[in-house]
Amino acid sequence: MQGWIPFIPERASTLAGRVDGLYFYLVGVTIFFTLLISATLIFFVIKYRRRSESEVPRPVAGSLKLETLWSVIPFLIAMSMFVWGADLYFAQYRMPKDALEVYVVGKQWMWKVQHTTGQREINELHVPVGRKIKLIMTTEDVIHDFFVPAFRTKADVVPGRYTTLWFEATKPGRYHLFCAEYCGTNHSGMTGWVTVMEPTDFDQWLSGGANQESPIVAGQKLFQSQGCTSCHGAQGEGGKGPPLVSLFGSTVKLENGQSVQADESYIRNSVRSPQSQIVEGFRQPLMPTYYKEQLSEEHLLQIMTYIKSLSPTRTQGITTTAPARENNERTGPATPDATGAKTIDSQRSNPVGSTPPSVRTPGQ
């Protein structure tokens, strides 16, 4: 509960206060109009009650003036709500550029979370306070919805595509995480907790999972084991297939003369449906289709981070502040590099560990 105001959930993100502000405005307007109309109704009903069975009141003509008045005033009030709401919506759904990325995969009926540093969680999400967090989400089966009431935000998680959500927690604590889109039998069990921690506690928590390999490393392993190297080259330099180095964020010319931005959706599409967007000069359909059965959404996300890591300049160009770097400065020893180094020493020469994975989002 939020102090003296009942029925308001905890306010724990930078946007929660703004959402509450709009809510209070609308509650105020609603109470005003409901009272206005009920009071008028009750007054009329009592004052003009039928006093004799035979009475017939005089008819009353309509009034254009009144009609205009009570069309225009509500319209203006509605427009104020519209502008306020739209402004807030942009703040909610325009992804910030300098956010720490976390991958989320929904699955009947659990939330699987993976941090760029390698930590994995189920139905839990640990985040530091005062840091913008961006979730890149998809699902292995049906539509889910990632909803944290304390942050006043939610977004559908849709199969076959990535959706994003961001927040910046303001208060350490544990907050409800709900699946808000009906997803089958155990829908109401698809809940969890978002734990917001002080940055130092968060670093400690991160170092606790030091043995887990980072998604970039995992992605690189998959890149080799799935046979991608045979066409795209051992380091993604290309061969029978188009090169992947410096691909992410670039503009790709297609065989049909069109060009597309190489973003997450493009890479995902090239794996799931390789024939749909053929790169210029690679007419031969050599690339097999990787269905969900061969390559889960989680694995695809790992390969994605690996491919992104092959474009260090571009990803840096897109993200104004490199998240992992910033994290480095804040946190000292517990860095992604360190975790990567511990597990696979030989990878150090790669651009892998040092490159912050990041994404281009539609809003930018």
Q: Which of the residues 212 through 271 are near another protein (CB under 8 A)? A: 256
**Residue 114: its H or E element:** strand 110-115
Q: Among 3, 4, 7, 284, indicate the residue that binds another protein (CB under 8 A).
A: 7
Q: Which is nearer to another protein, 274 or 353 (CB)?
A: 274
Q: Is 160 in the site for another protein (CB under 8 A)?
A: yes
Q: Is 26 in the site for another protein (CB under 8 A)?
A: yes
Q: What distances in angstroms separate CA 69 from CA 66, 74, 76, 243, one per listed residue?
A: 5, 9, 11, 65
Q: Among 17, 86, 230, 259, indicate the residue that binds another protein (CB under 8 A).
A: 86
Determine phi and psi for 119, rounding to 5 degrees: -65, 135
Q: Among 78, 122, 234, 286, indicate the residue that binds another protein (CB under 8 A).
A: 78
Q: Which residues of 94-131 are buried (b: 16+ CB within 10 A; e: fewer)?
A: ebbbebbbbbbbbbbbbbbbbbbbbbebebebbbbbeb
Q: Is 79 in the site for another protein (CB under 8 A)?
A: yes
Q: Among 40, 261, 294, 320, indicate the residue that binds another protein (CB under 8 A).
A: 40
Q: Which is nearer to another protein, 196 or 218 (CB)?
A: 196
| Cα 122 to Cα 145: distance, rounded to the nearest angstrom | 15
List CB contacts of 71: < 8 A, sequence separation 6 or more: none
Q: How far is the CB of 88 from another protein (least distance, A)?
A: 2
Q: Is 120 in the site for another protein (CB under 8 A)?
A: no
| Cα 255 to Cα 206: distance, rounded to the nearest angstrom | 45
Q: Which is nearer to another protein, 40 or 225 (CB)?
A: 40
| Cα 235 to Cα 350: distance, rounded to the nearest angstrom | 9
Q: How far is the CB of 251 from another protein (least distance, A)?
A: 18
Q: Is 143 in the site for another protein (CB under 8 A)?
A: yes
Q: Is 97 in the site for another protein (CB under 8 A)?
A: no
Determine phi and psi for 27, rounding to 5 degrees: -60, -45
Q: Among 265, 273, 296, 316, indicate the residue that binds another protein (CB under 8 A).
A: 273
The count of other CB atoms within 10 Å of the CB of residue 11 is 19
Q: Is 204 in the site for another protein (CB under 8 A)?
A: no
Q: How far is the CB of 50 from another protein (least distance, A)?
A: 5
